[in-house]
């Protein structure tokens, strides 16, 4: 029987998302690198899809898929790991079981072929969560997991690749039983200090899974993911702030993290798939039991979904309100100095500007300016202006509506009215694109 989620839609029986690292613009890659990445993503995603379609469980699938990506020199994990400043590899990985909350992680491995499998053994064979450095390598020996000689890893230099790009790998899965799991594996950041550990082996930063919410894997500047507990924050926002998974991830990608920091893949317990990045590119792919199968090297708008009104999820930041109120208050100052040109500065310099007053619409900046100058030929007629009761209403990520009351003192004759401004954010700043103003009592004669 198909599952129904809270909005009454059928949910996929199983779903899988993978990433192969966030970073530079794939349009700048050469053909060889593009092909290697695409092939690698398709191969790993196909294996994951087939495993899940045959009833494979979430944890096994995460391990299987990450092992494939670790063995692929096109990615910065396992075989293709980048080197430290000292010219060696130090591998990090973690895995988490959303059903039980168990997790395991390894950091600073130098000889393990598949760090994700060792992380899983830390989870199942020890009372610990994270093993690092020498002890982790010794645990690998004791567990008889395959070890490799150092030259196994130096493949990074053989792949035509001069970009200091990221290429961490991750996988999150919802299996057909409703269990979630997540895993991440990496060589870390290129030329890192020996001993540096990133977010990938830190549960709650680079990896997280809990059956009541979601499974998450991150990629990017690990220090930022640790500072902001990124992977856990996706689940926490769903759990405590009742956000859906798209909104939770968008908030982190667009507000918590600076642009250019990285990406997130996630699956909610009802099978919603999320892939988002705030870097120019992110290698990623998704498949589910409804037949979806896709891989990408970059996503439009960084994968941020548009809402039904065509706007993205990102609300206008509090800074926007500050910036706009500054503009408007400066207008009052300019008006009261008798300077209409300065007053008009925040208006959009375009023929598409609209100004509506007294039932008449004026189109274009020049005509609006001329209209003002005609109605208010001198400082005397301009009087003393004040704005009151400003109300801000966000219209998506790049537009704002401002409602307010204007008051004009002139020859002891107070005038008063309402205005509605629509502002849009342009690269050069916020501009008024529409202004509607009316007097009280208004043009209809209503009091």
Q: Which residues would be at the binding site for ligand ASP (CB under 6 A)?
A: 21, 166, 168, 186, 188-189, 198-200, 206, 219-220, 222
Q: What's the min distance (Å) between Cβ of 168 and ligand ASP?
A: 3
Closest to ligand ASP by CB, 102 or 190 = 190
The distance of closest approach from Cβ of residue 349 to ligand ASP in the complex, given in angstroms and rounded to an integer, is 42
Of 186 and 250, the one with the shorter C-beta distance to ligand ASP is 186
Tell me the closest approach of the beta carbon of residue 64 to ligand ASP, in angstroms.
21
Q: Which is nearer to ligand ASP, 171 or 432 (CB)?
A: 171
Q: Which is nearer to ligand ASP, 122 or 432 (CB)?
A: 122
> Which uninterrupted H or E stretch holds 389?
strand 384-394
CB of 223 to ligand ASP, least distance (A): 7
Pick the closer one to ligand ASP by CB: 21 or 396: 21
Token output for 22: 């966030």
426 in helix, strand or coil?
Answer: strand
Q: Which residue has the tokens 């509605």?
A: 420
What is the C-alpha separation between 290 and 15, in angstroms, rounded? 9
Instruction: Report yes or no: 424 and 434 within 8 Å, Cβ to Cβ.
Output: no
Is 168 catalytic? The answer is yes
Report CA 146 to chain centroid distance, whole Å. Answer: 36
Q: Toward ligand ASP, which CB reaches closer, 36 or 369? A: 36
| Closer by beta carbon to ligand ASP, 168 or else 272 | 168
Nearest to 194, CA basis, from 70, 87, 82, 116: 87
Tell which residue, 271, 246, 53, 265, has the closest CA to residue 179: 271
How large is the C-alpha radius of gyration of the chain?
A: 28
Min dist CB 297 to ligand ASP, Å, is 15
Alpha helices by DSSP H, 160-308: 222-227, 230-240, 245-251
Instruction: Phi first, then psi: give them for residue 238, nearest 5 degrees.
Output: -70, -40
Contacts of residue 193, defined as CB under 8 A and 6 or more positions apart, other chains included, come to 84, 85
As measured in angstroms, the least distance from the Cβ of 298 to ligand ASP is: 15
Of 112, 168, 189, 295, the active-site residue reads: 168
Nearer to ligand ASP, 166 or 430 (CB): 166
Task: Return d(Cα 270, Cα 335) in angstroms, integer.
Answer: 56
Task: Concatenate the DSSP letters of all residues of 308-327 into one string.
Answer: TTS-BSPPPPHHHHHHHHHH
Minimum Å gap between C-beta 251 and ligand ASP is 20
- Shortest distance, CB of residue 121 to ligand ASP, whole angstroms? 21
Question: Do the Cβ atoms of 266 and 16 come closer than 8 Å?
Answer: no
Rounded to an integer, what distance in angstroms lies between the CA atom of residue 45 and that of residue 296?
12
CA distance 427 to 341: 22
Closest CA to 406 of 323, 328, 327, 321: 328
Measured in whole angstroms, the distance separating CA 294 from the mean position of its chain's CA atoms is 19
Q: How far is CA 136 from CA 5, 62, 122, 256, in A?
A: 42, 21, 9, 33
Which is it for strands 3-4 and 10-11: parallel, antiparallel or unpaired? antiparallel
Helix (H, G, I), strand (E, B) or coil at 64: helix
Write out the catalytic residue numbers. Answer: 168
């Amino acid at each position: 029987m198909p599952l129904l989620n809270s909005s009454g839609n059928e949910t996929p029986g199983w779903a899988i998302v993978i990433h192969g690292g966030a970073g530079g613009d794939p349009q700048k890659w050469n053909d060889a690198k593009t092909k290697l990445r695409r092939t690698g993503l398709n191969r790993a995603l196909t294996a994951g899809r087939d495993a899940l379609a045959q009833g494979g469980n979430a944890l096994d699938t995460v391990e299987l898929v990450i092992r494939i990506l670790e063995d692929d020199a096109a990615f910065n994990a396992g075989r293709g790991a980048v080197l430290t400043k000292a010219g060696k590899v130090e591998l990090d990985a973690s895995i988490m079981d959303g059903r039980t909350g168990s997790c395991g992680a390894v950091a600073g491995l130098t000889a393990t072929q598949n760090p994700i499998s060792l992380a899983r053994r830390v989870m199942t064979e020890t009372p610990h969560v994270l093993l690092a450095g020498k002890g982790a390598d010794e645990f690998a020996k004791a567990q008889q997991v395959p070890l490799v000689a150092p030259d196994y890893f130096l493949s990074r230099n053989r792949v035509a690749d001069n970009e200091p790009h990221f290429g961490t790998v991750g996988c999150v899965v919802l299996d057909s039983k409703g269990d979630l799991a997540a895993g991440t594996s990496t060589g870390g950041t290129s030329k890192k200090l020996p001993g540096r550990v990133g977010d990938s082996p830190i549960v709650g930063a680079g990896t997280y899974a809990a059956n009541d919410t979601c499974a998450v894997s991150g990629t990017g500047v690990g220090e930022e993911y640790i500072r902001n507990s990124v992977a856990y924050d996706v689940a926490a926002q769903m759990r405590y702030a009742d956000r859906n998974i798209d909104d939770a991830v968008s908030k982190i990608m667009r507000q918590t993290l600076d642009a250019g920091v990285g990406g997130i893949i996630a699956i909610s317990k009802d099978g919603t798939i999320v892939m988002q990045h705030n870097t120019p590119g992110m290698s990623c792919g998704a498949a589910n039991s409804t037949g979806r199968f896709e891989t990408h090297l970059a996503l439009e708008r960084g994968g941020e979904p548009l809402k039904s009104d065509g706007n993205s999820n990102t609300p206008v930041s509090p800074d926007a309100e500050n910036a706009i109120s500054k503009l408007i208050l400066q207008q009052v100052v300019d008006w009261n100095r008798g300077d209409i040109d300065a007053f008009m500065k925040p208006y959009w310099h375009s023929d598409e500007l609209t100004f509506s007053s007294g039932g008449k619409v004026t189109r274009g900046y020049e005509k609006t300016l001329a209209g003002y100058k005609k109605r208010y030929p001198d400082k005397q007629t301009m009087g003393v202006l004040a704005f009151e009761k400003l109300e801000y209403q966000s219209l998506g990520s790049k537009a704002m509506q401002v409602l307010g009351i204007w008051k004009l003192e002139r020859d002891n004759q107070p005038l008063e009215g309402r205005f509605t401004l629509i502002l849009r954010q342009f690269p050069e700043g916020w501009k008024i694109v529409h202004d509607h103003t009316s007097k009280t009592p208004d043009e209809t004669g209503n009091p």
